[in-house]
Structure 1
């Protein structure tokens, strides 16, 4: 019998440890990426809610863009102390429309990933129009 071509079972002691050393960091990185995306999504929703509140104030009948920006900052101060960083607010109003914009970054979980957050709300300005038909 020719033993040269005979296949013997290999010794695979320690292979599970090597596989675990490779798989565990990748699994943790993937888990942290999921948490980072969830945090970014939450920060985006907070920015959108703050912009909508500011828009409601800015587009009111006697509202101003500075009042809309102030309400937006107040909402951000209440809600965004954790997930949203470096938030900046810009508000504008003219005779026809009003808009509020929020920019910032999501709090980083992964050190090499900085995700921007942007939210904008715009709408027409409320105007009082008297009923001239005499109703």
Structure 2
């Protein structure tokens, strides 16, 4: 009435072979894929953190140079580099460019750098821009 092998740890399949050892073999095949997916998700997180650091640094550059008594372009670039150096190393090999265009009334900052490499063989770069109007003194009515 019932299965003769019910509850037997060495149950056989319809062909008569044992299923013992199937799980470790499946795990050995899937484990590299699981590790690859894990490393890809970590690399994606590092990429987005590096983008956030670059954008914040660019905003610091613009905010420090666009004010009426603001920093010079070189001073703003020094502030940006100080921020990047104080932040965790999500962004490496950076270049900073801060410009104050009085004629156009705009201050811009560009931060570019390489993302920290978690996965060998994959390198990403990040480039973030920030822009803001220069404060001007205008006489009242």
Tell me if both proteins adopt one fold, taking TM over 0.5 as the criterion. yes
Give the unaligned 5+ runs of structure 2: 1-13
> Would the aligned equivalents of 1:68 and 1:100 in 2 still touch at CA under 8 Å?
no
How many residues in Structure 1 have an aligned counterpart in Structure 2?
125
**What TM-score comes out, normalization by structure 1 length?**
0.85
How far 1:118 sits from its partner (Å)? 1.2
Answer yes or no: is 1:76 the counterpart of 2:106: no
2:99 is aligned, of 92, 112, 135, to: 92
Distance 2:109 2:67 in 1: 13
Find runs of 4+ consecutive structure 1 residues off by over 6 angstroms.
none
Q: Is residue 2:127 matched to residue 1:118?
A: yes
Query: Which of 62, 68, 74 does residue 69 from structure 2 map onto?
Result: 62
TM-score, normalised to structure 2, is 0.82
Root-mean-square deviation over aligned CA pairs: 1.4
- 2:109, 2:28 → 1: CA distance? 49
Q: Does 1:105 align with 2:114?
A: yes
Deviation digits for residues 5-42 of structure 1, max 9, x if unmatched?
xx634433332222111111111110111111111111
